[in-house]
Amino acid sequence: MAEKRDYYEVLGVSKGASDAEIKKAYRREAKKYHPDLHPGDKAAEAKFKEINEAYEVLSDPEKKARYDQFGHAGVDPSFGAGGGSGFGGFEDFDLGDIFGNIFGGFGGFGGNSRRNGPRRGSDIRQVIEITFEEAAFGCEKDINVTKTEHCGSCGGSGAKQGTSPETCSHCHGTGQVKTQQRTPFGYMTNVGTCPHCGGSGKVIKEPCASCRGTGKIRVNKKINVKIPAGIDEGQTIQLQGQGEPGERGGPFGDLLITMRIRKHDLFSRKGFDVFVDMPITFVQAALGDTLKVPTLDGIVEYDMPEGTQTGTMFRLREKGIPHIRGKGRGDQYVTVNIEVPKNLTSRQKELLREFEGDVGTKGYKHQKSFFDKMKDKWR
């Protein structure tokens, strides 16, 4: 485990610095390394936590006195420096402390140490709708997100400008209070959240007018989102550090944006392939034709051979959706269906009957009836 730096060195002040100098130095350093200014920067996040830890000790007269005398051992419980006698400061132990250390607060024992530490902010989830083409080729969208941010007036402390939160006098900054209850087996010590500070260890006597002492404000923020080419329905983009702010110096959550793609009038999609149905006339199917086929890139020509049957599918290579990872594209599959004309004139009907009489069965492949196929199967 890395050795901790001197708290005075962390804040950039001398050991004899006054409370006002310590407070001023803290604000300067905290502003410099605040997570809002360095989203996703782990080094800045660690520095910000170190600054908060140093200020928490040096702003508390009792902790500062112990630190000046014993160094880190005077304020770190892991060193056993609790001022106890005979057993190295262990005469105040209770079952909650023991189970909390062993089980990490599981099942309701000793969870305050975890609750009082840095906590990551919540994620924000949002759904946006885009067109078929925007999903295929990518785009940029500006979206409005309502979220919480640190109050600019108090820097997130919740205290009126020129003041700072004070150490809770009931729990002495621990965020915990102990109560004893007499039982047939002796005294049972219970540890709970301090009701006066809500477990924060700090009390705000003069709240900030802008945030009413919460240290946070609700804002409507416009965020630019880059949507990659090839994204599909239901897929989610993650923007790190754009979610809700953390607690007690914890990192911001993320903004998770899920795609909803509008249906297209012509195209449908399966993976990276595009499908389209195209009507053709009987004459085109019989004689063949150069079809003008709609694609995502515009109209392309395809030479359809004569004698094409309805339901035939042909492929246009590399005319589908670009792959979201890597190069290349899917294909486009075109299904042709013969469209039977309606409301024919007498002359048209006469020509069709004449055509049918001339062709007979010569121009058609003989197809067996259902009953012929059944006879073959059981023969």
* pLDDT given at position 176: 83
Residues 31-41: tens digit of each pLDDT: 888 887 888 88
Containing 265, the helix (H) or strand (E) segment is: none
Mean of the per-residue pLDDT values for the chain? 82
* Token duo for residue 198: 């809500």
For 343, phi then psi, to 5°, come to 55, 45
Could you say which residues of the chain have pLDDT below 50? 1, 79-114, 369
Q: Please count the CA atoms within 13 angstroms of the CA of 63 that sit on its side-chain side.
A: 18
* pLDDT given at position 158: 86
Give the residue among 119, 102, 118 at the shortest CA–CA distance from 110. 102
Provide the b/e sequence for 165-195 (b: ≥16 CB within 10 Å).
bbbbeebebbbbbeeeeeeeeeeeeebebbe
* pLDDT given at position 104: 42
| Entry field: residues in the chain | 379
- The C-alpha atoms of residue 221 and residue 223 are separated, in whole angstroms, by 6
- The C-alpha atoms of residue 59 and residue 159 are separated, in whole angstroms, by 15
Residues 41-74: tens digit of each pLDDT: 888 888 999 999 999 999 988 888 888 877 887 7
48: number of Cβ within 10 Å: 24
* pLDDT given at position 108: 41
**Bridge partners, 125 (sequence order):** 256
For 103, phi then psi, to 5°, come to -105, 5
* pLDDT given at position 99: 41
* pLDDT given at position 304: 97
